[in-house]
Chain A
Amino acid sequence: MMQFMLLFSRQGKLRLQKWYVAHQDKVKKKITRELISTILARKPKMCSFLEYKESKIVYKRYASLYFCCAVEQEDNELLTLEIIHRYVELLDKYFGSVCELDIIFNFEKAYFILDELLVGGEIQETSKKNVLKAIAAQDVLQEDETPQGFFEDHGLG
């Protein structure tokens, strides 16, 4: 079972965090801080797996973003790398050549896509097509709503 996933930039800025186990905020911040600094200090050719406390850390860098997951001892490291990759593929497909900015400005979408891929720390749907279908269905529901935002944002609402 995955315990959490963190996305952070080369500068060490956290871009997304998803926790599948309950921790105090304080603990979450400490773990995040420690992992970001450990991983940023590692060289490119090093292996993608680390031991961290009782869990295994699996991470991979895509362009300027690091994707970092913690899994349990019995979980399969290589496949965790591919969960990350599948997530990147989904983001890429959805945003069209995803970049860090897309995730910053549309962080809620990044969460929604992740929720279709993983539930409760376990993989829910491995088919790329099916996940994209589910996200598209959500978008259709949204489009049915009146586009209210424009008026509201210009004080016309």
Chain B
Amino acid sequence: MAPVRGDGMRGLAVFISDIRNCKSKESEVKRMNKELANIRSKFKGDKTLDGYQKKKYVCKLLFIFLLGHDIDFGHMEAVNLLSSNKYSEKQIGYLFISVLVNTNSDLIKLIIQSIKNDLQSRNPIHVNLALQCIANIGSQDMAEAFSNEIPKLLVSGDTMDVVKQSAALCLLRLFRTCPEIIPGGEWTSRIIHLLNDHHMGVVTAATSLIDALVKKNPEEYKGCVSLAVSRLSRIFTSSYTDLQDYTYYFVPAPWLSVKLLRLLQNYNPPTEDPGVRGRLNECLETILNKAQEPPKSKKVQHSNAKNAVLFEAINLIIHNDSEANLLVRACNQLGQFLSNRETNLRYLALESMCHLATSEFSHEAVKKHQEVVILSMKMEKDVSVRQQAVDLLYAMCDRSNAEEIVQEMLNYLETADYSIREEMVLKVAILAEKYATDFTWYVDVILNLIRIAGDYVSEEVWYRVIQIVINREEVQGYAAKTVFEALQAPACHENMVKVGGYILGEFGNLIAGDSRSAPMVQFKILHSKYHLCSSMTRALLLSTYIKFINLFPEIRGTIQDVFRQDSNIRSADAELQQRASEYLQLSIVASKDVLATVLEEMPSFPERESSILAVLKKKKPGRVPENEIKEAKSPVPNHNTQNQNNHATNNSNHTSDLLGLSTPPSQQQNSQSTLIDVLGDIYNQSSGVNNAKKFLFKNNGVLFENEMIQIGVKSEFRQNLGRLGLFYGNKTQVPLTNFQPVLQWNTEDSKNLNVQIKAVDSTLDAGAQIQQMLTAECIDSYSDSPSLQLSFRYNGTPQSFTIKLPLTVNKFFEPTEMNSESFFARWKNLGGEKQRAQKVFKAQLPLDLPGAKNKLSGFGVQLLEGIDPNPDNMVCAGIIHTQSHQVGCLLRLEPNKQAQMFRLTVRASKEQVTNEICNLLVDQF
């Protein structure tokens, strides 16, 4: 039987009991439908319902909703309840609204008046009900309707404390939807001074609000720092009784302490005032000291609250990253937690240590705990804790311990949870590359990775090992020998076959002297895997075979036979068929010299940053532990010695076609790489001058030209719209027929950049020029730019090539002028992980600062003078207009004349834009 309910509504209790007594899902649904029908008829019936009945039925609807069913009526009745003069009815009305009404419902307009009335009530309980409802819905309408009342309630002298608390949080909620609601001006100091309020509840609520305001406008609210520090120091020096109800299991005001410690993390350094700084450090020391004291209670609540404050203090210490003493103490404290019996503490300690490992002050201290962390990785029962241990090992890895950590991670990988394998593979690959002193070790590690966890080894990983082997002569022989041995395994992973095929094709000759790995043996071992492999791998192996013909003329006959096999030369797969027949012809027709030239060893790859890191970042946005020790603030790029692999950047454009295997006709005509990819780019036919890159900085000019055709562009952009005229000029004496430009822009991207192209005549007369118009509308931010695939016949011969259109996202920039104050405020605001990107690159041309400035202006941003104290540094601002929103973007380009390098920093309010702008500009100066 139903327990007695405090306030009547027996009908509700009976209904709930009925539902609970239902034996099956069907009977429950039946009972519920009966009730819904009943309520519906009551609401529609002629008899007017009184408040009590409405309340009861609305409550039943709420219960049905809680069971997980959709409710599509009853909203009007709930709205009526809001204006009831009985509190219990009003309260149920508000509850229904806050649980069931979405932010964009039409109903909101109806309830605003009722809320207004309650806000003006003299009864604080009514006022709070209204405030809680506003905070629950938090829509734009609400913000507009109450932008006057709520700030007043918050700072007015005669508002009661309970109301102030609700008002502060309600305002915070509205501020998140609509930042303009905060009045500013004299209000700033009145809001800040809430930190001095005598009521701890008010201070706690106000701290949450101020934290959000500071994030938006750090300069204006700077005054909060000293007040927050004073408040903290009062909490930690007070005797517990002062705080009465705000002491939680013997811990003084843990919620307020944590909020204040968070608030201070918005500034770096938190303060310049040595007095305030001293007091803050005292507080932090007190917190660390208290952690060493015996617990005042055995209850887990005590230790949780105490440690919550401790962890937040450690976060602040890490954030400040200036007090070596505090950092090392924090690290020791966390070290103790690593063997605590509370799983929660171990988890958090591992997480927090990850951050400590990136500080140069505490990196060494973290390393002392290596053994315990390795044990955690192996022994923890909970995979989420093991994951944290892996992250920490990655973060604490450096040259001194890399071999050991990588080995332990490899060992663990054999039994690791499937959920974390792929990530571990990436981490091992990155560490092995970054800290390899001996590249034979690196090769061993990667081949082990493939052996142990081949399925989880992504393309980037095996591309990278090949790049490195090709670029480093000293490991080539070793690599050939090792892959050859690895291929002996009866079941070896397809990725191993790929790496093996590639490396033996290049360097098989280095081990051919040994009879155990004679040419024929090498070929046989590879070919024994051929039939088990996917067609992509087979294509790669065919290339290996033709390279073998060059390296080992003695096995030419055998290989030609393989090319001639029906399964190759008549393969259903066009790629295999083509390779087999072309390679066969090549081996027959070409002289030895030609063969040697065509099949020459691959040239070195240009040194570039590892793309694996980018993959790792993409996999776990927001929380990739760093493996890089932050150096004490050095404003000038200092990368003469370590310029290659340290910066986590996104280089994806270049990596996808590293081996050029997967996409036969290379889309990227203008890839600036100098390597002639024998294996891949046999399709690349177009030569000619391609100026696509220059259009980053200009809107008009010649985009492409070869001996047949010239393509000119005129374009203009306004807000998020652009018009582009393409002018095709026939340079020949004959008409170009079947003339067909086709836009290449996939459907996914065209949701963000909508491009419409007008048709053109299919014949372009000799010496004539035709124009094609194209319109573009930027809907949302996007990466890359559309291409145009142009095909036509010249004298009956089909011609085809692809050109990038100058429609990169920077075209929608509006240059923005601002003074240094607002620039730095914005710069700081855009400090989030996803909002910044930085790259360091070598100057591509002799350093030319006026030229660089011109380029930046052409790029679409406003050059801001007098912002950076160093006149050589260029600082710019702009807004990218899209249909849905505007993306503010700031950038700084710092030349380093001695090193002939640039450092580019981009900050924008959207991650995709940040990365794209950074990618577009890198290597352009």
Contact = CB atoms under 8 A, between A and B. Distances in A.
A125 interface: yes
B52 A126 contact: no
A127 interface: yes
Interface string A61-83: 00000000000011011110110
Contacts of B262: 74, 76
A127 B201 contact: yes
A108 B344 contact: no
B5 A142 contact: no
A76 B258 contact: yes
B3 interface: yes
A6 B248 CA distance: 24
Given A126-B201, A130-B245, A134-B162, A78 B136 contact: no
Contacts of B95: 108, 111-112
A120 B172 contact: yes
Nearest to A125: B201
A47 B344 contact: yes
Interface residues of B, number: 80
Contacts of A134: 125, 128, 162
A130 B382 contact: no
B204 interface: yes
Nearest to A29: B68
Interface string B152-171: 00000000001001100110
Contacts of B173: 119-121
Interface in B50-71: 50, 52-53, 56, 59, 62-63, 66-68, 70
A82 B245 contact: no
B586 interface: no
B806 to A, nearest CB: 35
Nearest to A138: B125
A7 to B, nearest CB: 10
A125 B162 CA distance: 9
B622 to A, nearest CB: 6
Given A47-B385, A73-B623, A106 B346 contact: no
Contacts, number: 191
Nearest to A139: B6
Given A106-B6, A108-B95, A139-B6, A145 B87 contact: yes
Contacts of A127: 200-201, 244-246
B754 interface: no
Most buried by B among A122, A148, A157: A122
A78 to B, nearest CB: 4
A22 interface: yes
A139 to B, nearest CB: 7
B6 A79 contact: no
Nearest to A73: B622
Interface size for chain A: under 10, 10 to 19, 20 to 34, or 35 or more residues?
35 or more
B900 to A, nearest CB: 39
Q: Is the interface of B mostly helix, strand, loop or mixed?
A: helix
B789 interface: no
Nearest to B385: A47
A77 B132 contact: no
B255 A49 contact: no
Contacts of A50: 384
A149 B384 contact: no
B685 to A, nearest CB: 46
Contact of A149 (B10, B307, B344): B10
Interface string B524-553: 000000000000000000000000000000
A77 B10 contact: no
A47 B172 contact: no
A4 to B, nearest CB: 12
Contacts of A121: 173
A45 B208 contact: no
Contact of A82 (B136, B170, B244, B305): B305
Contacts of B59: 108
Nearest to B133: A115
Contacts of A119: 131-132, 135, 165-166, 169-170, 173, 205
Nearest to A58: B344
Given A29-B68, A108-B95, A82 B201 contact: no
Interface centre among B88, B102, B103 (most CB of A within 10 A): B88
Contacts of A105: 2-3, 5, 13, 16
Contacts of A104: 16, 20
B131 A54 contact: no
Contacts of B384: 46-47, 49-51
Contacts of B169: 119-120, 122, 124
Among A15, A54, A105, A152, the most chain B Cβ lie within 10 Å of the Cβ of: A105
A156 interface: no
A45 to B, nearest CB: 6
B166 A148 contact: no
Contacts of B86: 145
A78 B344 contact: yes
B248 to A, nearest CB: 7
A150 B62 CA distance: 21
A39 interface: no
B7 interface: yes
Contacts of A106: 5-6
A56 to B, nearest CB: 10
A119 to B, nearest CB: 4
A78 B138 contact: no
23 contacts: A16-B66, A22-B102, A22-B103, A29-B68, A45-B381, A45-B382, A46-B382, A74-B262, A81-B304, A82-B305, A85-B301, A107-B63, A124-B165, A124-B205, A126-B253, A129-B245, A134-B162, A142-B7, A142-B87, A147-B8, A149-B9, A149-B10, A149-B56
Given A120-B138, A153-B11, 11 more contacts: A45-B382, A47-B382, A47-B384, A78-B308, A78-B348, A104-B20, A108-B59, A128-B245, A142-B88, A149-B9, A150-B8
The 9 closest A-B pairs by CB, nearest first: A149-B8, A120-B173, A127-B245, A78-B308, A120-B135, A141-B87, A119-B169, A47-B343, A79-B308
